[in-house]
Amino acid sequence: MSEKFAVPTDRSLPRPLVRRVLREEIKEYLIDAILRGRLRPGDRIIEMRIAQDLGVSQTPVREALRDLELLGFVTSAPFRGTRVRAFTHDELVEIYPIRAAIEGVAARAAATRITTEQLLALEEQIDRMREASELGDEATAIEADIAFHHIIVEASGNRLLEQFWTSLSLATTTYLTFSVHRRAIEGLAARHEPILEALRARESDRAEAVMRRHIEEPARWVYAALSRGSVDPPAS
């Protein structure tokens, strides 16, 4: 970690550029920590502690946290500091149709752009889901699920779309990681296979349609579960 965040000693490199690069690396580090559950909804993020852990000053950490607040990953309030954002039930339900639209567009674009290497990476993530489901390893299954969708969003070649997806993925990951039980991973691999098949066939219309269905189906599960009160809300 110290090597990744080490500031170059070359005096010819402008200091503002160094700080900007650090800010982006710290932001990626924190997003990864949140999505992998090392930082949970409601957890406080202390600038000084993050700076010490990464061997940097507090300034780029503060700037990274401001960026994360704009993306919706964290919230900041007087006397409470900065915390990982927690989502209400209503927000979780409302996010799914937005995510279905965004990922449908991503799948359509990816169908004509995706590389052989990316298709192989999607196969690998499906294999991880299947193995994790058999072992009852929810954390790995959810991690593979996120990676699968991220590969497709990256393959779309639309960087703005990728930014939107990243901010929305926090909410859906928060729900999967902390609010659902084993049903979340049962049949998970099989549910992703039609998406891979459509992308392999380079069929844009089909890829968009199967992606939308893929996301809209669990949205109905979420709505039904929340209506019954059978799940706990994310920590706040």
CATH of the domain at 116: 1.20.120.530
Evaluate whether residue 8 is within a structural domain: no
What φ, ψ does residue 166 adopt, rounded to 5°? -60, -45
Q: Which of 26-35, 57-66, 194-203 has the lowest mean pLDDT?
A: 26-35
> Which of left, alpha, beta for 187 (phi over 0: left; psi -120 to 50: alpha)?
left
Task: Report the number of distinct structural domains present in the chain.
Answer: 2
* Contact present, 205 and 105 (Cβ < 8 Å): no
Q: Quick check: 8 pLDDT over 60?
A: no
User: If pLDDT is split at 50, 70 and 90, which confidence band does 228 have?
Assistant: low
Least confident span in 9-13, 19-23, 159-163 = 9-13
**Residues 69 and 162 placed together within one structural domain of the fold:** no
Over the stretch 103-134, which tens digit does the pLDDT of each residue have? 999 999 999 999 999 999 999 999 999 999 88
Q: Same structural domain for residues 200 and 111? A: yes
Nearest to 114 by CA among 1, 203, 211: 203
Sheet holding 44-45, edge to edge: 44-45, 81-84, 74-77
State how far the Cα of 134 lies from the Cα of 93, in Å rounded to an integer: 28
Q: Which two tokens stand for residue 159?
A: 């960087």
**Residues 53-65: tens digit of each pLDDT:** 999 999 999 999 9
The two three-digit tokens of residue 92, written as one number? 């979780």
Domain extent at residue 186 = 89-228
The CATH number that applies at residue 21 is 1.10.10.10
CA-based nearest residue to 46, from 91, 80, 3, 8: 80
Give the pLDDT band (50/70/90) at residue 146: confident
Where is the domain boundary, 84, 111, 142?
84
